[in-house]
Structure 1
């Protein structure tokens, strides 16, 4: 593991989209598995001090998902539908139950690089620039960075 992986998070100035990218010392197959296996997903998603409980997980085109993140007695539920699930790309919706009208359309790409590395690219299309800016102001980068660091450790430990 390189130990210096950085996640780039960018807001598109013309459409309400957030884009992120990060390189991993993992194959596309490993990253795909980490995003589609509920047992693995629960181990790495989100900030360090949160625990994740999977309530529904059907990682196939047309399937749906729901998980609850907990911290200090507080619960935060998220849900969505898998629209297209294939080894190089996942397209899904994402909704925080605390804001049920805010549905994002997310696409993740797993791009093979040299030396067993993979570039993960993702984009989230939200309903407005205000919603996009609220996501960015929420501290989402902490959960993204800490979650991906946990994913790095799972790969390094051979769990993925």
Structure 2
């Protein structure tokens, strides 16, 4: 039986995601911060990203661009606020779209990731907070569930 990663009611703020990953905290941290690895697992299914850019320093920007569906591109971007290698990341988060239906980026929200060594693996806790509306929170909850399953499979 698979236990869902998203622990909060769909649409709630904040979104809390928790789970166990069969990899060291160092490997999990690298999967979150190395663009070559991020593009392999992040998104609704593996290899959903066209690109990932990471400037891993306080105030450094990150940007993930989803594959083009022929009309518009969607992605996520933000800045790193806290970086503690192999244990803690905090970054701002905004969704954007480009193309024929250009819309404004979403308001900035915040993602905090805490990694704790547990035996030969890692307990991960993600708190995504200050998301502007319930519809967006619902979409992000689904996205986190798929993304964490992808990360779990990638690290196994």
SS at match of 2:146: helix
Equivalent position to 1:111, from 113, 116, 120: 116
8 Å CA contact 2:109, 2:130 repeated in 1: yes
1:9 corresponds to which residue?
Answer: 7
Question: Structure 1: which 5+ residue stretches go unaligned?
Answer: none
Shift of 1:85: 1.2
Q: TM-score, normalised by structure 2?
A: 0.80
2:64 is the alignment partner of 1:67: yes
Q: TM-score, normalised by structure 1?
A: 0.78
Shift of 1:143: 2.8
Shift of 1:17: 1.6
Q: How many aligned positions are there?
A: 148
2:24 is the alignment partner of 1:23: no
1:146 corresponds to which residue?
Answer: 146
SS at match of 2:39: helix
> Residue by residue, what CA displacement relative to the aligned partner does 1:45-94 show, whole Å, maximum 9, x if unpaired?
11127621335321222211112112532410211001111121001000
2:136 corresponds to which residue?
Answer: 135
Distance 1:6 1:92 in 2: 23
Deviation beyond 4 Å, 4+ runs, structure 1: none
1:42 corresponds to which residue?
Answer: 39
> Residue by residue, what CA displacement relative to the aligned partner does 1:14-33 show, whole Å, maximum 9, x if unpaired?
x9422111111111111100
Q: How much is the aligned-residue C-alpha RMSD, in angstroms?
A: 2.6
